[in-house]
Structure 1
Amino acid sequence: MMSLIKVERIKLLSTKSPYWCVASILVASVLIALVIGLSDHGSQATTVNGVSGVNLGKSVFMIIAALAVTTEYRFNTMKSTFLAAPHRVNVLLAKTVLLAVFGAVLGFVCAIAAFFLTKALATNPPIPLVLEGEVWREVAGYAALFAIAAVIAVAVGTLLRQSAGAISLLLVWSLLFESLFQLIPKVGDKIHAWMPFTAGTEFVSPTSNVETVGRATTSGGPTPIQGLLVFLATGIVLWLIAAVVLNKRDA
Protein backbone atom coordinates (compact mmCIF):
# COMPACT_ATOMS: atom_id res chain seq x y z
CA MET A 1 0.00 0.00 0.00
CA MET A 2 2.80 2.43 0.85
CA SER A 3 4.33 1.81 -2.58
CA LEU A 4 1.01 2.61 -4.23
CA ILE A 5 0.67 5.80 -2.20
CA LYS A 6 4.19 6.83 -3.19
CA VAL A 7 3.38 6.22 -6.86
CA GLU A 8 0.18 8.26 -6.56
CA ARG A 9 2.13 11.07 -4.92
CA ILE A 10 4.52 11.17 -7.85
CA LYS A 11 1.60 11.23 -10.30
CA LEU A 12 -0.13 14.01 -8.41
CA LEU A 13 2.92 16.26 -8.21
CA SER A 14 4.01 15.66 -11.81
CA THR A 15 1.30 17.91 -13.25
CA LYS A 16 0.77 21.66 -12.90
CA SER A 17 -2.93 21.66 -12.02
CA PRO A 18 -2.48 20.77 -8.31
CA TYR A 19 -0.06 23.65 -7.84
CA TRP A 20 -2.44 26.15 -9.45
CA CYS A 21 -5.38 24.84 -7.43
CA VAL A 22 -3.43 24.99 -4.15
CA ALA A 23 -2.32 28.54 -4.98
CA SER A 24 -5.93 29.58 -5.66
CA ILE A 25 -7.08 28.04 -2.37
CA LEU A 26 -4.41 29.96 -0.46
CA VAL A 27 -5.26 33.19 -2.28
CA ALA A 28 -8.99 32.80 -1.61
CA SER A 29 -8.36 32.10 2.08
CA VAL A 30 -6.01 35.04 2.52
CA LEU A 31 -7.99 37.55 0.46
CA ILE A 32 -11.25 37.02 2.29
CA ALA A 33 -9.44 37.14 5.64
CA LEU A 34 -7.85 40.38 4.47
CA VAL A 35 -11.21 41.89 3.54
CA ILE A 36 -12.87 40.80 6.81
CA GLY A 37 -9.96 42.05 8.90
CA LEU A 38 -9.77 45.47 7.27
CA SER A 39 -13.43 46.24 6.61
CA ASP A 40 -14.74 48.79 9.11
CA HIS A 41 -11.77 48.10 11.41
CA GLY A 42 -12.75 44.45 11.62
CA SER A 43 -16.25 44.98 13.00
CA GLN A 44 -17.33 41.76 11.26
CA ALA A 45 -14.19 39.86 12.17
CA THR A 46 -15.61 36.73 13.76
CA THR A 47 -13.81 33.41 13.42
CA VAL A 48 -16.38 32.03 10.98
CA ASN A 49 -16.22 35.10 8.74
CA GLY A 50 -12.43 35.24 8.79
CA VAL A 51 -11.99 31.65 7.60
CA SER A 52 -14.94 31.63 5.20
CA GLY A 53 -12.57 31.76 2.23
CA VAL A 54 -11.29 28.33 3.23
CA ASN A 55 -14.78 26.90 2.72
CA LEU A 56 -14.71 28.22 -0.84
CA GLY A 57 -11.28 26.69 -1.22
CA LYS A 58 -12.74 23.30 -0.30
CA SER A 59 -14.66 23.28 -3.58
CA VAL A 60 -11.46 24.06 -5.46
CA PHE A 61 -9.63 21.27 -3.65
CA MET A 62 -12.23 18.80 -4.88
CA ILE A 63 -11.11 19.66 -8.41
CA ILE A 64 -7.61 18.41 -7.53
CA ALA A 65 -9.00 15.19 -6.10
CA ALA A 66 -11.30 14.53 -9.05
CA LEU A 67 -8.53 15.23 -11.56
CA ALA A 68 -6.29 12.71 -9.81
CA VAL A 69 -8.66 10.06 -11.18
CA THR A 70 -10.10 11.52 -14.37
CA THR A 71 -6.74 12.61 -15.78
CA GLU A 72 -5.63 8.98 -15.86
CA TYR A 73 -8.71 8.06 -17.88
CA ARG A 74 -8.23 11.05 -20.16
CA PHE A 75 -4.66 10.08 -21.07
CA ASN A 76 -5.43 6.35 -20.99
CA THR A 77 -2.87 5.59 -18.28
CA MET A 78 -5.37 3.89 -15.97
CA LYS A 79 -4.97 0.60 -17.86
CA SER A 80 -1.24 0.66 -17.18
CA THR A 81 -1.93 1.43 -13.54
CA PHE A 82 -4.22 -1.58 -13.22
CA LEU A 83 -1.76 -3.83 -15.04
CA ALA A 84 0.91 -2.84 -12.52
CA ALA A 85 -1.51 -3.13 -9.58
CA PRO A 86 -4.30 -5.61 -10.46
CA HIS A 87 -6.20 -5.02 -7.22
CA ARG A 88 -8.14 -1.99 -8.35
CA VAL A 89 -9.62 -1.17 -4.96
CA ASN A 90 -6.09 -0.83 -3.56
CA VAL A 91 -5.30 1.74 -6.25
CA LEU A 92 -8.47 3.65 -5.41
CA LEU A 93 -7.67 3.43 -1.71
CA ALA A 94 -4.13 4.72 -2.26
CA LYS A 95 -5.43 7.73 -4.20
CA THR A 96 -8.02 8.41 -1.53
CA VAL A 97 -5.62 8.17 1.40
CA LEU A 98 -3.05 10.42 -0.28
CA LEU A 99 -5.60 13.10 -1.18
CA ALA A 100 -7.39 12.91 2.17
CA VAL A 101 -4.13 13.47 4.06
CA PHE A 102 -3.08 16.20 1.63
CA GLY A 103 -6.47 17.85 2.01
CA ALA A 104 -6.39 17.66 5.80
CA VAL A 105 -3.00 19.40 5.92
CA LEU A 106 -4.00 22.00 3.34
CA GLY A 107 -7.32 22.78 5.03
CA PHE A 108 -5.68 23.14 8.43
CA VAL A 109 -2.87 25.39 7.18
CA CYS A 110 -5.24 27.66 5.22
CA ALA A 111 -7.67 27.99 8.12
CA ILE A 112 -4.92 28.76 10.64
CA ALA A 113 -3.39 31.33 8.27
CA ALA A 114 -6.77 32.99 7.64
CA PHE A 115 -7.59 33.10 11.36
CA PHE A 116 -4.34 34.73 12.43
CA LEU A 117 -4.38 37.17 9.50
CA THR A 118 -7.90 38.25 10.47
CA LYS A 119 -6.85 38.57 14.09
CA ALA A 120 -3.78 40.65 13.19
CA LEU A 121 -5.72 43.08 10.99
CA ALA A 122 -8.94 43.53 12.98
CA THR A 123 -8.61 46.43 15.39
CA ASN A 124 -12.26 46.36 16.50
CA PRO A 125 -13.55 42.78 16.38
CA PRO A 126 -17.01 42.11 17.89
CA ILE A 127 -15.45 39.53 20.22
CA PRO A 128 -11.76 38.80 20.94
CA LEU A 129 -10.27 36.36 18.46
CA VAL A 130 -8.67 33.72 20.65
CA LEU A 131 -7.85 30.22 19.46
CA GLU A 132 -9.38 28.24 22.30
CA GLY A 133 -12.53 26.29 23.11
CA GLU A 134 -14.92 25.78 20.22
CA VAL A 135 -12.89 28.22 18.11
CA TRP A 136 -10.45 25.34 17.62
CA ARG A 137 -13.26 23.34 16.00
CA GLU A 138 -14.27 26.28 13.80
CA VAL A 139 -10.70 26.56 12.51
CA ALA A 140 -9.08 23.12 12.70
CA GLY A 141 -12.33 21.48 11.61
CA TYR A 142 -11.48 22.36 8.02
CA ALA A 143 -8.88 19.59 8.10
CA ALA A 144 -11.68 17.04 8.47
CA LEU A 145 -13.88 18.72 5.86
CA PHE A 146 -11.10 18.81 3.25
CA ALA A 147 -10.28 15.15 3.90
CA ILE A 148 -13.90 14.05 3.47
CA ALA A 149 -14.30 16.29 0.42
CA ALA A 150 -11.35 14.43 -1.12
CA VAL A 151 -13.12 11.11 -0.57
CA ILE A 152 -16.27 12.42 -2.26
CA ALA A 153 -14.34 13.90 -5.18
CA VAL A 154 -12.31 10.73 -5.79
CA ALA A 155 -15.52 8.70 -5.75
CA VAL A 156 -17.27 11.05 -8.21
CA GLY A 157 -14.21 11.11 -10.47
CA THR A 158 -14.12 7.30 -10.47
CA LEU A 159 -17.80 7.01 -11.29
CA LEU A 160 -17.88 9.60 -14.09
CA ARG A 161 -14.29 9.23 -15.42
CA GLN A 162 -14.55 12.53 -17.34
CA SER A 163 -12.93 15.66 -15.92
CA ALA A 164 -15.55 18.14 -17.13
CA GLY A 165 -18.45 16.07 -15.87
CA ALA A 166 -16.90 15.31 -12.49
CA ILE A 167 -15.82 18.89 -11.83
CA SER A 168 -19.17 20.31 -12.96
CA LEU A 169 -21.11 17.92 -10.75
CA LEU A 170 -18.97 18.61 -7.69
CA LEU A 171 -19.12 22.39 -8.08
CA VAL A 172 -22.85 22.52 -8.84
CA TRP A 173 -23.58 20.14 -5.96
CA SER A 174 -21.46 21.96 -3.38
CA LEU A 175 -22.20 25.55 -4.43
CA LEU A 176 -25.72 25.55 -5.91
CA PHE A 177 -27.78 22.36 -5.85
CA GLU A 178 -28.28 22.05 -2.10
CA SER A 179 -29.43 25.66 -1.76
CA LEU A 180 -32.30 24.99 -4.17
CA PHE A 181 -34.03 22.94 -1.48
CA GLN A 182 -34.63 26.18 0.41
CA LEU A 183 -37.18 27.08 -2.27
CA ILE A 184 -39.47 24.27 -1.14
CA PRO A 185 -42.24 25.77 1.03
CA LYS A 186 -42.32 24.97 4.76
CA VAL A 187 -39.86 22.05 4.81
CA GLY A 188 -37.20 23.41 2.46
CA ASP A 189 -34.96 24.90 5.14
CA LYS A 190 -35.01 21.73 7.21
CA ILE A 191 -34.10 19.54 4.23
CA HIS A 192 -31.38 21.96 3.18
CA ALA A 193 -29.80 21.91 6.64
CA TRP A 194 -29.27 18.14 6.42
CA MET A 195 -27.83 18.02 2.90
CA PRO A 196 -24.22 16.72 2.91
CA PHE A 197 -22.18 19.84 2.18
CA THR A 198 -24.46 22.10 4.18
CA ALA A 199 -24.43 19.71 7.11
CA GLY A 200 -20.65 19.40 6.89
CA THR A 201 -20.31 23.16 7.15
CA GLU A 202 -22.03 22.99 10.55
CA PHE A 203 -18.90 21.32 11.90
CA VAL A 204 -17.02 24.62 11.51
CA SER A 205 -19.94 26.82 12.57
CA PRO A 206 -20.58 28.28 16.04
CA THR A 207 -23.17 26.51 18.13
CA SER A 208 -24.86 29.77 19.09
CA ASN A 209 -27.07 31.78 16.74
CA VAL A 210 -24.32 33.92 15.21
CA GLU A 211 -24.78 35.83 11.98
CA THR A 212 -22.12 34.99 9.39
CA VAL A 213 -21.34 36.07 5.84
CA GLY A 214 -24.50 35.34 3.89
CA ARG A 215 -25.74 32.83 6.46
CA ALA A 216 -27.12 32.48 9.96
CA THR A 217 -27.24 29.27 11.92
CA THR A 218 -30.81 28.00 12.13
CA SER A 219 -32.69 25.84 14.58
CA GLY A 220 -33.71 22.36 13.47
CA GLY A 221 -30.43 21.65 11.73
CA PRO A 222 -27.71 19.21 12.75
CA THR A 223 -25.26 19.80 15.56
CA PRO A 224 -21.60 20.15 14.53
CA ILE A 225 -20.90 16.44 15.18
CA GLN A 226 -24.09 15.33 13.43
CA GLY A 227 -23.20 17.50 10.44
CA LEU A 228 -19.74 15.97 10.23
CA LEU A 229 -21.19 12.46 10.42
CA VAL A 230 -23.66 13.19 7.61
CA PHE A 231 -20.83 14.51 5.44
CA LEU A 232 -18.62 11.53 6.32
CA ALA A 233 -21.39 9.01 5.65
CA THR A 234 -21.95 10.56 2.22
CA GLY A 235 -18.27 10.19 1.40
CA ILE A 236 -18.12 6.57 2.59
CA VAL A 237 -21.26 5.53 0.67
CA LEU A 238 -20.09 7.17 -2.55
CA TRP A 239 -16.61 5.66 -2.17
CA LEU A 240 -18.00 2.14 -1.67
CA ILE A 241 -20.23 2.52 -4.73
CA ALA A 242 -17.23 3.73 -6.74
CA ALA A 243 -15.14 0.76 -5.56
CA VAL A 244 -17.85 -1.72 -6.64
CA VAL A 245 -18.31 -0.04 -10.04
CA LEU A 246 -14.55 0.14 -10.59
CA ASN A 247 -14.21 -3.62 -10.07
CA LYS A 248 -17.06 -4.51 -12.39
CA ARG A 249 -16.42 -2.37 -15.46
CA ASP A 250 -13.58 -2.20 -17.98
CA ALA A 251 -10.66 0.08 -17.17
Structure 2
Amino acid sequence: MTLLAVERIKLRSTRSAWCCAALAVALTLTFAAMFAAGSATTAPVTVTSTQFGSGVGLLIVMVMATLAVTTEYRYGTIRATFVAAPRRTQVLLAKAAVVALISAVLGELCSFGSVAAAKLAVPTADLAIDTPFEWRAVAGTGLVFALAGTFAVAIGALVRHSAGAIALLIGYTQGAEQLVQFIPKAGPAIHHWLPFNVGNKFLTGDADPITANAHDGLPPSDATLGPWPALIYFAGFTALALGAALVTTAKRDA
Protein backbone atom coordinates (compact mmCIF):
# COMPACT_ATOMS: atom_id res chain seq x y z
CA MET A 1 0.00 0.00 0.00
CA THR A 2 2.91 2.36 0.70
CA LEU A 3 4.23 1.93 -2.84
CA LEU A 4 0.79 2.62 -4.27
CA ALA A 5 0.55 5.83 -2.23
CA VAL A 6 4.03 6.90 -3.34
CA GLU A 7 3.28 6.29 -7.01
CA ARG A 8 -0.01 8.14 -6.69
CA ILE A 9 1.76 11.15 -5.18
CA LYS A 10 4.41 11.05 -7.90
CA LEU A 11 1.86 11.07 -10.68
CA ARG A 12 -0.29 13.70 -9.01
CA SER A 13 2.69 16.03 -8.57
CA THR A 14 3.83 15.73 -12.20
CA ARG A 15 2.77 18.57 -14.47
CA SER A 16 2.82 16.41 -17.61
CA ALA A 17 0.26 14.03 -16.09
CA TRP A 18 -2.19 16.86 -15.39
CA CYS A 19 -1.63 18.38 -18.83
CA CYS A 20 -2.19 15.05 -20.59
CA ALA A 21 -5.28 14.27 -18.53
CA ALA A 22 -6.83 17.67 -19.19
CA LEU A 23 -5.95 17.52 -22.89
CA ALA A 24 -7.38 14.01 -23.30
CA VAL A 25 -10.74 14.94 -21.78
CA ALA A 26 -10.94 18.36 -23.45
CA LEU A 27 -10.15 17.12 -26.95
CA THR A 28 -12.43 14.10 -26.68
CA LEU A 29 -15.40 16.19 -25.54
CA THR A 30 -14.67 18.86 -28.16
CA PHE A 31 -14.63 16.27 -30.94
CA ALA A 32 -17.89 14.79 -29.67
CA ALA A 33 -19.65 18.16 -29.58
CA MET A 34 -18.31 19.26 -32.98
CA PHE A 35 -19.15 15.99 -34.68
CA ALA A 36 -22.65 15.93 -33.19
CA ALA A 37 -23.34 19.52 -34.25
CA GLY A 38 -21.93 18.95 -37.72
CA SER A 39 -23.72 15.69 -38.47
CA ALA A 40 -27.08 16.45 -36.87
CA THR A 41 -28.43 17.94 -40.10
CA THR A 42 -27.58 14.89 -42.21
CA ALA A 43 -27.91 11.92 -39.85
CA PRO A 44 -29.25 11.24 -36.36
CA VAL A 45 -26.75 11.57 -33.55
CA THR A 46 -26.35 8.21 -31.81
CA VAL A 47 -24.66 7.09 -28.62
CA THR A 48 -21.92 5.40 -30.64
CA SER A 49 -21.29 8.49 -32.76
CA THR A 50 -20.56 10.49 -29.59
CA GLN A 51 -17.48 8.30 -29.06
CA PHE A 52 -15.87 9.63 -32.23
CA GLY A 53 -12.99 11.30 -30.37
CA SER A 54 -12.20 8.61 -27.81
CA GLY A 55 -9.31 7.33 -29.92
CA VAL A 56 -7.58 10.68 -29.51
CA GLY A 57 -8.16 10.59 -25.77
CA LEU A 58 -6.75 7.07 -25.59
CA LEU A 59 -3.58 8.09 -27.41
CA ILE A 60 -2.98 11.01 -25.05
CA VAL A 61 -3.60 8.83 -21.99
CA MET A 62 -1.04 6.36 -23.30
CA VAL A 63 1.46 9.22 -23.64
CA MET A 64 0.74 10.15 -20.02
CA ALA A 65 1.28 6.55 -18.92
CA THR A 66 4.58 6.34 -20.80
CA LEU A 67 5.85 9.58 -19.27
CA ALA A 68 5.00 8.27 -15.81
CA VAL A 69 7.90 5.85 -16.28
CA THR A 70 10.32 7.51 -18.67
CA THR A 71 10.38 10.84 -16.81
CA GLU A 72 11.85 9.08 -13.78
CA TYR A 73 14.63 7.62 -15.91
CA ARG A 74 15.24 10.98 -17.57
CA TYR A 75 15.77 12.83 -14.28
CA GLY A 76 17.37 9.92 -12.42
CA THR A 77 14.74 9.78 -9.68
CA ILE A 78 14.18 6.11 -10.43
CA ARG A 79 17.50 5.35 -8.71
CA ALA A 80 16.28 6.82 -5.43
CA THR A 81 13.06 4.87 -5.82
CA PHE A 82 14.92 1.59 -6.28
CA VAL A 83 17.19 2.34 -3.31
CA ALA A 84 14.14 2.93 -1.11
CA ALA A 85 12.31 -0.08 -2.57
CA PRO A 86 14.86 -2.66 -3.77
CA ARG A 87 12.18 -4.99 -5.15
CA ARG A 88 11.92 -3.32 -8.50
CA THR A 89 9.09 -5.49 -9.77
CA GLN A 90 6.88 -4.26 -6.93
CA VAL A 91 7.67 -0.66 -7.85
CA LEU A 92 6.69 -1.20 -11.48
CA LEU A 93 3.56 -3.12 -10.52
CA ALA A 94 2.51 -0.31 -8.18
CA LYS A 95 3.12 2.26 -10.91
CA ALA A 96 1.15 0.19 -13.41
CA ALA A 97 -1.75 -0.20 -10.96
CA VAL A 98 -1.94 3.54 -10.27
CA VAL A 99 -1.71 4.43 -13.94
CA ALA A 100 -4.34 1.82 -14.84
CA LEU A 101 -6.77 3.23 -12.28
CA ILE A 102 -6.26 6.82 -13.41
CA SER A 103 -6.52 5.77 -17.06
CA ALA A 104 -9.81 4.00 -16.32
CA VAL A 105 -11.21 7.11 -14.64
CA LEU A 106 -10.11 9.27 -17.58
CA GLY A 107 -11.70 6.78 -19.98
CA GLU A 108 -15.03 7.05 -18.20
CA LEU A 109 -14.81 10.84 -18.11
CA CYS A 110 -14.10 10.86 -21.84
CA SER A 111 -16.89 8.45 -22.78
CA PHE A 112 -19.71 9.69 -20.58
CA GLY A 113 -18.54 13.28 -21.01
CA SER A 114 -18.75 12.83 -24.79
CA VAL A 115 -22.38 11.77 -24.50
CA ALA A 116 -23.10 14.83 -22.37
CA ALA A 117 -21.19 17.15 -24.72
CA ALA A 118 -23.10 15.84 -27.74
CA LYS A 119 -26.37 16.30 -25.90
CA LEU A 120 -25.49 19.90 -25.13
CA ALA A 121 -24.57 20.47 -28.78
CA VAL A 122 -27.76 18.81 -30.06
CA PRO A 123 -30.42 18.96 -27.31
CA THR A 124 -32.97 17.11 -29.45
CA ALA A 125 -30.75 14.02 -29.90
CA ASP A 126 -31.90 10.81 -28.24
CA LEU A 127 -28.76 9.76 -26.37
CA ALA A 128 -30.23 7.49 -23.74
CA ILE A 129 -27.90 4.56 -23.05
CA ASP A 130 -30.34 1.67 -23.23
CA THR A 131 -28.87 -1.43 -24.86
CA PRO A 132 -26.01 -3.70 -23.74
CA PHE A 133 -24.02 -2.63 -26.80
CA GLU A 134 -24.39 1.05 -25.93
CA TRP A 135 -23.39 0.42 -22.32
CA ARG A 136 -20.34 -1.54 -23.47
CA ALA A 137 -19.40 1.14 -26.02
CA VAL A 138 -19.54 3.86 -23.36
CA ALA A 139 -18.86 2.32 -19.94
CA GLY A 140 -16.41 -0.20 -21.40
CA THR A 141 -14.10 2.59 -22.51
CA GLY A 142 -12.60 2.75 -19.03
CA LEU A 143 -11.50 -0.90 -19.26
CA VAL A 144 -9.79 -0.36 -22.60
CA PHE A 145 -8.09 2.81 -21.33
CA ALA A 146 -6.85 0.94 -18.23
CA LEU A 147 -5.32 -1.86 -20.29
CA ALA A 148 -3.82 0.54 -22.83
CA GLY A 149 -2.34 2.63 -20.01
CA THR A 150 -0.77 -0.47 -18.48
CA PHE A 151 0.64 -1.45 -21.87
CA ALA A 152 2.14 2.04 -22.21
CA VAL A 153 3.77 1.72 -18.78
CA ALA A 154 5.37 -1.52 -19.95
CA ILE A 155 6.69 0.12 -23.11
CA GLY A 156 8.05 3.02 -21.09
CA ALA A 157 9.88 0.63 -18.77
CA LEU A 158 11.30 -1.33 -21.69
CA VAL A 159 12.47 1.67 -23.75
CA ARG A 160 13.16 4.11 -20.83
CA HIS A 161 13.40 7.07 -23.23
CA SER A 162 10.39 9.39 -23.54
CA ALA A 163 10.68 10.28 -27.22
CA GLY A 164 11.52 6.74 -28.26
CA ALA A 165 8.73 5.13 -26.25
CA ILE A 166 6.11 7.62 -27.41
CA ALA A 167 7.23 7.32 -31.03
CA LEU A 168 7.02 3.54 -30.76
CA LEU A 169 3.51 3.66 -29.31
CA ILE A 170 2.20 6.16 -31.84
CA GLY A 171 3.93 4.45 -34.73
CA TYR A 172 2.53 1.06 -33.80
CA THR A 173 -1.03 2.01 -32.88
CA GLN A 174 -1.54 4.61 -35.61
CA GLY A 175 0.58 3.13 -38.37
CA ALA A 176 1.87 -0.40 -38.10
CA GLU A 177 -1.42 -2.10 -37.26
CA GLN A 178 -3.11 -0.46 -40.24
CA LEU A 179 -0.23 -1.00 -42.67
CA VAL A 180 -0.12 -4.72 -41.91
CA GLN A 181 -3.35 -5.08 -43.88
CA PHE A 182 -1.47 -4.26 -47.09
CA ILE A 183 0.80 -7.29 -46.81
CA PRO A 184 -0.20 -9.53 -49.73
CA LYS A 185 -2.40 -12.49 -48.81
CA ALA A 186 -1.47 -12.78 -45.11
CA GLY A 187 -2.00 -9.13 -44.14
CA PRO A 188 -5.74 -9.15 -43.36
CA ALA A 189 -5.47 -12.40 -41.40
CA ILE A 190 -2.65 -10.99 -39.29
CA HIS A 191 -4.57 -7.77 -38.71
CA HIS A 192 -7.45 -9.75 -37.21
CA TRP A 193 -5.21 -10.67 -34.25
CA LEU A 194 -3.29 -7.47 -33.62
CA PRO A 195 -3.91 -6.32 -30.03
CA PHE A 196 -5.35 -2.84 -30.44
CA ASN A 197 -7.58 -3.94 -33.29
CA VAL A 198 -8.83 -6.76 -31.08
CA GLY A 199 -9.24 -4.42 -28.11
CA ASN A 200 -11.35 -2.12 -30.26
CA LYS A 201 -13.67 -5.07 -30.96
CA PHE A 202 -14.80 -4.91 -27.34
CA LEU A 203 -16.17 -1.41 -27.92
CA THR A 204 -17.49 -1.78 -31.47
CA GLY A 205 -18.43 -5.45 -31.83
CA ASP A 206 -22.00 -6.84 -31.95
CA ALA A 207 -23.58 -3.48 -32.70
CA ASP A 208 -27.32 -3.02 -32.32
CA PRO A 209 -29.22 -3.69 -35.59
CA ILE A 210 -30.51 -0.13 -35.78
CA THR A 211 -26.98 1.31 -35.59
CA ALA A 212 -25.03 -1.48 -37.23
CA ASN A 213 -24.52 0.61 -40.37
CA ALA A 214 -23.52 3.74 -38.49
CA HIS A 215 -19.74 3.98 -38.92
CA ASP A 216 -19.68 7.46 -37.48
CA GLY A 217 -18.15 6.52 -34.14
CA LEU A 218 -15.01 4.52 -33.57
CA PRO A 219 -13.93 2.62 -36.70
CA PRO A 220 -15.37 -0.91 -36.37
CA SER A 221 -12.90 -3.69 -35.71
CA ASP A 222 -12.58 -6.64 -38.08
CA ALA A 223 -11.28 -8.97 -35.36
CA THR A 224 -12.88 -12.42 -35.40
CA LEU A 225 -13.30 -12.72 -31.62
CA GLY A 226 -16.46 -11.65 -29.82
CA PRO A 227 -16.41 -8.50 -27.66
CA TRP A 228 -15.66 -10.08 -24.28
CA PRO A 229 -13.13 -12.64 -25.57
CA ALA A 230 -11.50 -9.71 -27.38
CA LEU A 231 -11.12 -7.85 -24.09
CA ILE A 232 -9.55 -10.94 -22.49
CA TYR A 233 -7.17 -11.27 -25.45
CA PHE A 234 -6.16 -7.61 -25.14
CA ALA A 235 -5.64 -8.08 -21.39
CA GLY A 236 -3.45 -11.12 -22.07
CA PHE A 237 -1.31 -9.19 -24.52
CA THR A 238 -0.96 -6.38 -21.98
CA ALA A 239 0.08 -8.90 -19.32
CA LEU A 240 2.77 -10.27 -21.63
CA ALA A 241 4.16 -6.78 -22.26
CA LEU A 242 4.11 -5.99 -18.53
CA GLY A 243 5.79 -9.32 -17.75
CA ALA A 244 8.58 -8.52 -20.18
CA ALA A 245 8.98 -5.08 -18.57
CA LEU A 246 9.12 -6.63 -15.08
CA VAL A 247 11.86 -9.06 -16.07
CA THR A 248 13.86 -6.38 -17.85
CA THR A 249 13.53 -3.87 -15.02
CA ALA A 250 14.71 -6.43 -12.48
CA LYS A 251 17.84 -7.27 -14.49
CA ARG A 252 18.99 -3.97 -15.98
CA ASP A 253 20.88 -1.22 -14.20
CA ALA A 254 18.82 1.84 -13.36
**Common topology (TM > 0.5):** yes
CA distance in 2, matches of 1:220, 1:154: 25
Shift of 1:37: 1.4
**Partner Cα distance (1:244, 1:220) in 2:** 30
Q: 1:186 to 1:130 in 2, by over 3 A?
A: farther
Partner of 1:66: 66
Q: Which residue of 2 aligns with 1:53?
A: 53
TM-superposed deviation, 1:206:
4.4
Q: TM-score under structure 2 normalisation?
A: 0.90
Residue 9 of structure 2 is matched in structure 1 by 10
Equivalent-residue separation in structure 1 for 2:186 and 2:85 (angstroms) = 48
Instruction: Name the aligned partner's letter for residue 10 of structure 2.
Output: K
How far residue 248 of structure 1 moved from its aligned partner, in angstroms, is 1.1
Does 2:124 align with 1:107?
no
Cα offset for 1:76? 0.8
Residue 115 of structure 1: CA displacement?
A: 1.3
1:170 is matched with 169
Q: Any conservation in 2 of the 1:70–1:158 contact (CA below 8 Å)?
A: yes
Cα displacement string for residues 114-165 of structure 1 (whole angstroms, at most 9, x for unaligned residues): 012223433676xx43212221100011110111011101110111111111
What secondary structure does 2:140 align onto?
helix
For residues 69-112 of structure 1, give each alpha carbon's deviation from its aligned partner in whole angstroms, at most 9, with x where no partner exists.
11111111111101100111110011011000111111011100
Bigger Cα displacement from structure 2, 7-16 vs 154-163: 7-16
The normalised TM-score by structure 1 is: 0.91
**Match of residue 117 from structure 1:** 117
Corresponding residue SS for 1:45: coil
% identity of equivalent residues: 37
Structure 2 residue aligned with 1:185: 184
Say whether residues 1:77 and 2:87 are aligned partners: no
Aligned residues: 248
Partner of 2:200: 201
Match of 1:225 among 225, 228, 236: 228
| Paired AA for residue 104 in structure 1 | A
Q: 1:78 to 1:224 in 2, by over 3 A?
A: same
Find out whether 1:148 has 2:151 as its counterpart: no
Distance 1:220 1:6, change over 3 A: closer
CA distance in 2, matches of 1:142, 1:218: 15
User: Which residue, out of 241, 244, 248, partners 2:251?
Assistant: 248
Partner of 2:128: 130
What stretches of structure 1 of length at least 5 have no aligned partner? none
